[in-house]
Chain A
Amino acid sequence: MKRFWKDFAEGDLWVKGSCLVMGLGCLKRRQIVKGLCYLAAEILFFLFFFGFGWKYLSHFLTLGENAQLRVWNEDMQIYQRVPGDNSMLILLFSVLTIAVTVLFVCLWVMNLKSAARLCQLEKAQKHIPSFREDGRSLLNERFHVTLLAAPLTTLLLFTVLPIIFMILIAFTNFDANHQPPGNLFTWTGLQNVTDIFLGNATKTRTFTGILGWTIVWAIFATFTNYIFGMILAIIINHKLVKAKKMWRTWFMIPIAIPQFVSLLLVSRALEPTGAVNVALMELGWIKTPLPFLTDVTLSRVVVILVNMWIGIPYTMMTFSGVLMNVPEELYESASIDGAGPVRRFISITLPYMIFVTAPATITTFVGNINNFNVIYLLTAGGPASLDYYQAGKTDLLVTWLYKLTVDQHDYALASTIGIFIFMIVSICSLTVYNRTGAVKKEDMFQ
């Protein structure tokens, strides 16, 4: 940075002029294409900023002042509407404009840096890289820039900006009663956060209750699948079992059916008059139907069981793959010590399997915290509870969030919860990821 300031201060008029007209320094040192690109970027930015961005950004602090008006139109005999400000579009496009401006400032600094450097190169009478040489470096030394450009742009547009937008929504009163374009919404500060944790007992109870169940669910869902999937894989790969591939395929078929279909069927089958109850009653095992979906404990057990139905084939496939690939060296060293098959399994196969599948297990755990499909499609969060605000006893944070957004249009509350889910999940997984062997030893095999 210091060097840049020095270079910049020593630079000639062309370098300083690059502050105002981008690309000037490059154009002067015969980097015509690069210079023109900078210039074009500047022009495009100002067109965007004043043609589009400013009309939203200027309302960013209030999120709009003019509500939609109702004016009597004698000719038409109607109360015509005069469009007012649209708070949501103001917020959304302000975020976009700010992001574009930040990018532009980065580009502007790059432009100054390259102008100053070129000036120094010229003074030292060194070779000034041509456009072609720059291009070649993008395929080699700076190949990461080329490869990351497209994915990171889509990431910015489709993930980062929307997330910033949603985070900001948490600090507004955007709900069903403040719905643009008919109404305005505005900043309310930490209102939603205090509402969940202090102001509203029902919401506090709902949040803590659902959070507790989400964690219990994630632990059970992950480890039941892990253990039973491992057992199933060991059985299928046992040397006495014939037609291994057929068995594996058999278990794969159910998970190839889209979950919204299979879970809908299962959910219907579990109703008081559904197939499971009818079958159990015809067998004479029960007299009255079991309330699979309406009893709290039973429904929680049911979602975990059904999740096993969906998840075990996946873990079974994973463990099959691992079992077939346990490095022979490990066994060789063990058989010298004369270990029996059980010992061999416990002291070699098992630790190896756990080690290899650790990253996948963490991903599954995080996935289960956000496991929308199984809960939403099976019980829709039910049984509904009188203790909870718009939620039921099997609701996870993520399904509650979905219901608040889609059914209640309570975006502000949903965003607040979304931020909390996000914080919990990301802190957990970042610590774990950066501690697992796979990351620490990423250079091990190379």
Chain B
Amino acid sequence: MKKLVALLLAVALCCTALAAVAEDVTLKVWDGQDDQELLKELCEAYAAAHPENSYTFQYGVVGTADASARYLEDPSAAADVFVYPDDQLIRLAQADALYEVTRNHDAIVAANSQGSVNAATYQGVLLGYPMTADNGYFLFYDKSVLTEDDVQTLDGILAAAEKAGKQFNFDIANGWYLASFFLGNGCTITLDESGVQVCDFNSEKGVEAAKAVAELCAHPAFLPGDQNILTGTIGDSVCAGVCGTWVADAIKERLGENYAAAKLPTFTVNGEQVQMGSFGGCKILGVNTQSASPVEAMNLAEFLTSEERQLRRFEVRGYGPSNINVAKSEAIASDPALSALAAQSDYAVTQLIIGDFWTPATAFGNALIADPTVDVQPLLDQWVAQTIGQ
């Protein structure tokens, strides 16, 4: 009897101890508009998995593209946990916006692909939890017009498209896509050891790449324009275009059975075929340094990027996982868009840009569209000068 009383007492004590620890935690989470439903589902799953605390989640609608801009407007009003693309990492790191990943560091590094961990690392410190590895671009095409051989080379695509009276869409006026010619031909844009922007797009190799861009611009089967043009015309007047996974659903809907994707083609430099490069990146969950409950926020971020959740994210939204195990799964391998992205990832580099690269890139693209015969060297010099801040 005494023992029973003692046991009950102990249990009661434990319960009160537990109850005393139970806290009310409020966490604000940001993600894009169309990811909100999934985000709610996953956060509620987290709360269910951690009954010791009571959680209140606030959901903010901030798409990944705007994350750093919205964050910097007022860091203390920003989310505790938010999604950002790896190209905003440096900007956020310089503003001391992100907590270092210190808890379970090794497990997180081991679970995710090397590329995604690198993309989330700045100056040797891991600054976030890799969530997807699909922030890159590749080729979508219409199987009824182009064969697998055609899409190997840019010339092949253009020739076949012209023959069929169709067009090939590429967003030349966007530095992100435009860079693929330069990166492919061996140019680099990166940071040196002291964190200064270096870029050699105006080198001899760069001029060769720019000439290839000019040739593309001059081709009758070429159609410039952003993703709206691609999603609006593919399967109709357009037979192929370069974009990322976020338009995969729309394109699948338009092409139906003829839907296909591949790595970027090769292009011709001095009569030789050169593989187009690309920027490859990932989306990362960051924990705000202004957060009132950083540990809880980190636990949530870790939960939201775990293997199971990444699989779920692929199932619901079709996002390519950064988790190694999920990436190996059969479902991913049979997804045309993600396997094309994986094929392209061999030629992709991490985006390390802090300079004024984008606006002059648009200007350069527009100049070539307007007049493909223009002398590219002075334009490239201006572009690079602005990028490296001279």
Contact = CB atoms under 8 A, between A and B. Distances in A.
Given A294-B370, A386-B379, A386-B386, A181 B356 contact: no
User: Which bracket fits the contact residues of B?
Assistant: 35 or more
Given A183-B95, A273-B233, A291-B369, A384 B362 contact: yes
Interface string B57-87: 0000000000001001001100000000000
B370 A295 contact: yes
B23 to A, nearest CB: 14
Interface residues of A, number: 36
A406 B68 CA distance: 11
A272 interface: yes
Given A79-B99, A271-B225, A272-B225, A390 B69 contact: no
B289 interface: yes
B157 interface: no
B94 A382 contact: no
A386 B382 contact: yes
A179 B289 contact: no
B96 interface: yes
Given A386-B360, A392-B359, 18 more contacts: A79-B99, A79-B102, A80-B294, A176-B91, A177-B94, A179-B72, A181-B75, A182-B75, A182-B95, A272-B223, A291-B370, A294-B366, A383-B363, A385-B363, A389-B386, A390-B359, A392-B363, A409-B72
Interface string A54-87: 0000000000000010100000111111000000
Contacts of A268: 228
Nearest to B290: A181
A407 interface: yes
B364 interface: yes
A406 B69 CA distance: 7
Interface in B219-256: 223-225, 228-229, 233
A176 B290 CA distance: 18
A387 interface: yes
A273 B96 contact: no
B142 interface: no
Interface string B259-303: 000000000000000000000000000000110001100100000
Interface string B336-376: 00000000000000000000100110111011011000000
Nearest to B390: A202
Interface of B: 69, 72, 75-76, 91, 94-97, 99-100, 102-103, 173, 223-225, 228-229, 233, 289-290, 294-295, 298, 356, 359-360, 362-364, 366-367, 369-370, 379, 382-383, 386
A273 B225 contact: yes
Given A182-B289, A271-B225, A384-B363, A294 B356 contact: no
Given A273-B233, A389-B386, A76 B294 contact: yes
B294 to A, nearest CB: 6
Contacts of A385: 363
A179 B233 CA distance: 43
Given A181-B76, A390-B359, A77 B103 contact: yes
B217 to A, nearest CB: 12
A238 to B, nearest CB: 44
Given A78-B99, A182-B95, A384 B366 contact: yes
* Most chain A CB neighbours (cut-off 10 Å) among B95, B173, B225, B298: B95
Contacts of B225: 271-273
Contact of A382 (B96, B362, B367): B362
Given A68-B96, A271-B229, A389-B386, A78 B294 contact: yes
Nearest to B98: A182
For the complex of A and B, list the 8 residue pairs with the smallest distance between their C-beta atoms, beginning with the closest: A182-B96, A384-B363, A386-B382, A384-B362, A182-B95, A294-B366, A179-B95, A386-B363
A417 B62 CA distance: 29
A273 B363 contact: no
Nearest to A293: B366
B72 A176 contact: yes
A407 B69 contact: yes
A287 to B, nearest CB: 11
A183 B96 contact: yes
Contacts of B369: 291, 294
Interface string A224-251: 0000000000000000000000000000
A382 B360 CA distance: 11
Nearest to A84: B96
B356 A390 contact: yes
A440 B379 CA distance: 55
8 contacts: A68-B96, A78-B99, A79-B100, A182-B95, A291-B369, A384-B362, A389-B386, A407-B69
B75 A384 contact: no
Contact of A273 (B99, B229, B359, B386): B229
Contacts of A79: 99-100, 102
A81 B382 contact: no
A202 B386 contact: yes
Interface string A281-316: 000000000010011000000000000000000000
A78 B367 contact: no
A391 B366 CA distance: 14
A78 B295 CA distance: 8
Contact of A78 (B102, B290, B366, B370): B102
Nearest to A70: B96
A341 B366 CA distance: 53
Contacts of B382: 386-387
Nearest to B167: A273
B367 A389 contact: no
Contacts of B362: 382, 384
Contacts of B100: 78-79
Given A386-B379, A386-B386, A387-B382, A76 B295 contact: yes
